[in-house]
């Protein structure tokens, strides 16, 4: 059995077969010869294996089909599955849900698929296997995200394409060919003692907001975790919960003043099972409400670049400068890996900075050989200027 490309200059647009091979959509591949059962064939590969899409025009894919056909003793290979993008989404989300991904992570995958479907509809694409490097690149170029968000979204795109590749819906994980954007991390900026005083004074007009900020500063929890904090999470003065973002367990002993303030806000909340959430809305909507309330406090306190995550940074840095090990801080923050903690908070570890200063001082021993400059006399290095 032999493969050949059935060139049709009138439809292809290329006069020569050589030029046709290098087109994005070359002429179809046919198979000719006698199969192991003695039957003669001269038929389009597309008709033979009933596969639609670009794969029947790809020579490597055609060779794969032919090899499978011959291994099967002349029985044509089964038709390749060709799911729609909607089916791709349904199957992936079902798998992701079964794996127990966090609700926020699932939401981001849903959002990515919605964007993918809108892009595909605009380009006239219906099936998963119509994606290739060029189309995947065009999809990435349609994003308006900043570097960090685009980098995270690219990771999710690679994940859903890997899922499709494993099921042979895609020839390759085309997203793996795309380079991630360069992400320049912003330095950690904890609030100063003076800024914290201004923030707490500005929040005093609302007991719930005041307590919310006090809990964030005292625990290092993310805004989403404080928003969904349940009364059952507080046992005496100890907070115990699983983080919404990472699912990591957290156990923190609060100061008695903060714990009492938490208990005092329960009667002020409509849902007595939570401290700050009614439970009627989605967590995402509730977090947005609290983020706006805190933004108003930062504005009234005249804090430049004030945002909730800086309270978490303030908690971590305060521990580090008081000689708490970075390993313990990592556990308190609920990081999955200490590398995450080191990435954001290494400059604030006194022991490491002292070790670096000592190493530099030791490396500068050669300075002893320099003669001190006499007063009023310029010392030149390397000869006359």
Q: Tens of pLDDT along 306-336?
A: 999 999 999 999 998 888 888 999 999 988 8
Residues 225 and 253 in one domain: yes
Q: Looking at 8-22, 26-40, 214-228, 333-347, which range is the least confident one?
A: 8-22
What are 112's two structure tokens? 């990515």
Q: What is the pTM of this model?
A: 0.65
Note the pLDDT tens digit of each residue in 242-279: 887 777 888 999 999 999 999 999 999 989 999 999 99
Residues 63 and 135 in one domain: no
How much is the average pLDDT of 139-162? 94
Residues 129 and 237 in one domain: no
Query: How high is the pLDDT of residue 375?
Result: 54
Task: Please say if the pLDDT value at position 377 is more than 80.
Answer: no
Task: Please say if the pLDDT value at position 24 is more than 70.
Answer: no
Is 375 inside a domain boundary? no
Query: How high is the pLDDT of residue 14?
Result: 61
Is 372 inside a domain boundary? no
Task: Please say if the pLDDT value at position 51 is more than 50.
Answer: no
How much is the average pLDDT of 153-164? 96
Query: How high is the pLDDT of residue 238?
Result: 94
Note the pLDDT tens digit of each residue in 163-202: 999 988 988 899 999 999 988 777 678 999 999 999 999 9
Is 80 inside a domain boundary? no
Is 218 inside a domain boundary? yes
Residues 252 and 340 in one domain: yes
- Structural domain range at position 316: 193-347
Query: How high is the pLDDT of residue 385?
Result: 46
Is 337 inside a domain boundary? yes
Task: Please say if the pLDDT value at position 16 is more than 70.
Answer: no
Task: Please say if the pLDDT value at position 58 is more than 90.
Answer: no
Is 371 inside a domain boundary? no
Counting the structural domains of the chain, the total is 3
Of 130, 150, 177, the residue at which a domain comes to its end is 177
How much is the average pLDDT of 86-103? 92
Of 129, 150, 177, the residue at which a domain comes to its end is 177
Query: How high is the pLDDT of residue 348?
Result: 80
Residues 221 and 162 in one domain: no
The CATH number for 309's domain is 1.10.443.10
Rounded Cα gap, residues 301 and 304, in angstroms: 9
Residues 223 and 159 in one domain: no
Of 149, 177, 205, the residue at which a domain comes to its end is 177
Task: Please say if the pLDDT value at position 22 is more than 80.
Answer: no
pLDDT band at 295 (very low <50, low <70, confident <90, very high): very high
Residues 276 and 166 in one domain: no
Note the pLDDT tens digit of each residue in 197-231: 999 999 999 999 999 999 999 999 999 999 999 99
Residues 273 and 324 in one domain: yes
Is 329 inside a domain boundary? yes
The length of the chain, given as a count of residues: 385
Query: How high is the pLDDT of residue 52?
Result: 38
Distance from chain centroid for Cα 196: 31
Is 172 inside a domain boundary? yes
Task: Please say if the pLDDT value at position 232 is more than 80.
Answer: yes
Task: Please say if the pLDDT value at position 23 is more than 60.
Answer: no
Of 309 and 58, the one with more pLDDT:
309
The CATH number for 150's domain is 1.10.150.130
How does the average pLDDT of the chain come out, rounded? Answer: 84
Residues 99 and 140 in one domain: yes
Share of the chain above pLDDT 70, in %: 83
Task: Please say if the pLDDT value at position 287 is more than 90.
Answer: yes
Residues 172 and 263 in one domain: no
Residues 249 and 339 in one domain: yes
Residues 200 and 253 in one domain: yes
């Amino acid at each position: 059995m032999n493969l050949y490309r059935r060139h049709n200059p009138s439809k292809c647009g290329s006069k020569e077969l050589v030029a046709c091979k290098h087109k994005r959509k070359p002429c179809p591949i046919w198979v000719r010869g006698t199969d192991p059962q003695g039957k003669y064939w001269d038929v389009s590969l597309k008709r033979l294996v009933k596969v639609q899409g670009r794969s029947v025009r790809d020579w490597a894919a055609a060779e794969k089909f032919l090899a499978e056909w011959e291994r099967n003793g002349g029985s044509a290979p089964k038709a390749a599955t060709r799911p729609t993008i909607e089916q791709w989404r349904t199957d992936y989300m079902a798998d992701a849900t079964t794996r127990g991904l966090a609700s926020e992570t699932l939401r981001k995958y849903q959002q990515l698929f919605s964007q993918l479907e809108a892009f595909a509809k605009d380009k006239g694409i219906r099936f998963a296997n119509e994606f290739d490097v060029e189309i995947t690149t065009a999809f990435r170029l349609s994003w308006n995200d900043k570097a960090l968000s685009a980098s995270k979204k690219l990771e999710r795109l690679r994940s859903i394409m890997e899922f499709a590749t494993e099921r042979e819906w895609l020839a390759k994980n085309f997203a793996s060919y795309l380079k991630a954007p360069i992400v320049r991390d912003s330095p950690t900026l904890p609030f100063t003692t003076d800024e914290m005083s201004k923030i707490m004074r500005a929040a005093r007009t609302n007991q719930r907001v005041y307590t919310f900020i006090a809990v964030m500063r005292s625990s290092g929890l993310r805004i989403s975790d404080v928003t969904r904090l349940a009364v059952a999470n507080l046992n005496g003065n100890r907070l115990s919960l699983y983080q919404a973002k990472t699912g990591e367990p957290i156990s923190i002993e609060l100061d008695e003043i903060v714990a009492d303030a938490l208990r005092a806000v329960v009667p002020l909340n409509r849902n007595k099972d939570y401290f700050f959430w009614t439970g009627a809305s989605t967590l995402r909507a509730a977090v947005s409400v609290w983020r706006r309330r805190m933004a108003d406090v930062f504005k009234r306190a005249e804090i430049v670049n004030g945002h909730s995550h800086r309270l978490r940074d303030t908690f971590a840095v305060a521990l580090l400068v008081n000689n708490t090990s970075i390993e313990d801080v990592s556990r308190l923050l609920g990081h999955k890996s200490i590398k995450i903690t080191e990435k954001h908070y290494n400059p604030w570890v006194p022991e490491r900075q002292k070790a670096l200063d000592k190493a530099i001082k030791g490396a500068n021993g050669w300075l002893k050989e320099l003669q001190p400059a006499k007063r009023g006399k310029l010392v030149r290095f390397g000869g006359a200027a």
